[in-house]
Structure 1
Amino acid sequence: MALKHLNLAVPDVAQTVSFFEKYFGFHTDEVKGDNVIAILEDNDGFILSISNFKKDVIPQYPADFHVGFVQKTPEQVMEIYQTMKADGIDVGKEPHNYGGRGTYSFYVTAPGNFLIEVLCVI
């Protein structure tokens, strides 16, 4: 079994879609309404929907909620980090090795105010 679909509720669908397209290689398959929902897909067939069905409600995620994007190498993690940093995104600390499973990663807050972890298992 594999997780192949996720919906994220955000205040600004278009802004969040652009973020996922630019930094994580998603392409937009469809946008419904006036940016009410966008359906994105990556090269592995993962379907990500970005939605804002209630324009007057700002979605809130729990403090520890995050979405992870696994890369194949530490160099790929660093490349994404450096690209985001060069684009003026607050990426926090440089990627580093976390104990336990041995992951090399960094965290960034995405448009929509939720965390993304960019990582590779080493």
Structure 2
Amino acid sequence: MSFKHLNLAVPDVVQTKIFFETYFGFQCQELKGDNIIAILEDQDGFILSISNFSKNEIPQYPTDFHVGFVQETPEQVMAIYQAMKADGITVGKEPRNYGGRGTMSFYVEAPGKLLVEVLCITAD
């Protein structure tokens, strides 16, 4: 079994769609309705849907909830960080190594207050 699909509820489908296309290489396969749902797919076949079925409600994720995008190298993590920073996105602290976890990562808030971790595995 493999995890190959996730739906994220967001207040602005188009803005969030552009974020995932720009920084994580997703391609929009379908955009339905008036800012209702976008179906995105990455190069590995992962399907990410971004939706706002209830236009009057702003989704609220729990404090610890986040999605992660694993990169192959620390350089890729840094390149995404630098690109976001150059585009004026508040990225917070520079990527750093977490020795106990064996990762290098940073966190950023995507449109809609969705927490995203960008990371790579640095140790076995």
TM-score by length of 1: 0.98
Report the AA paired with residue 3 of structure 1: F
> What corresponds to 1:24 in structure 2?
24
> What corresponds to 1:40 in structure 2?
40
Q: CA RMSD in A?
A: 0.6
SS in 2 for 1:68: strand
SS in 1 for 2:15: helix
Whole-angstrom CA distance in 1 between matches of 2:33 and 2:81: 33
Whole-angstrom CA distance in 1 between matches of 2:100 and 2:46: 27
> What corresponds to 1:70 in structure 2?
70
Cα deviation per residue 1:53-94 (whole Å; 9 max; x = unaligned)?
Answer: 000000000000000000000000000000000000000000
SS in 2 for 1:93: coil
> What corresponds to 2:3 in structure 1?
3
* Unpaired segments ≥5 residues, structure 1: none
Whole-angstrom CA distance in 2 between matches of 1:58 and 1:90: 21
> What corresponds to 1:56 in structure 2?
56
> What corresponds to 2:113 in structure 1?
113
How far apart are 1:114 and its partner, in Å? 1.2
SS in 2 for 1:97: strand
Of all paired residues, the percent bearing the same amino acid is 77
SS in 1 for 2:91: coil
Whole-angstrom CA distance in 2 between matches of 1:49 and 1:82: 26
Report the AA paired with residue 98 of structure 2: Y
* Unpaired segments ≥5 residues, structure 2: none
Cα deviation per residue 1:18-46 (whole Å; 9 max; x = unaligned)?
Answer: 00000000000001111200100000000
Q: Provide runs of 4+ in structure 1 moved above 4 Å.
A: none
How far apart are 1:99 and its partner, in Å? 3.2
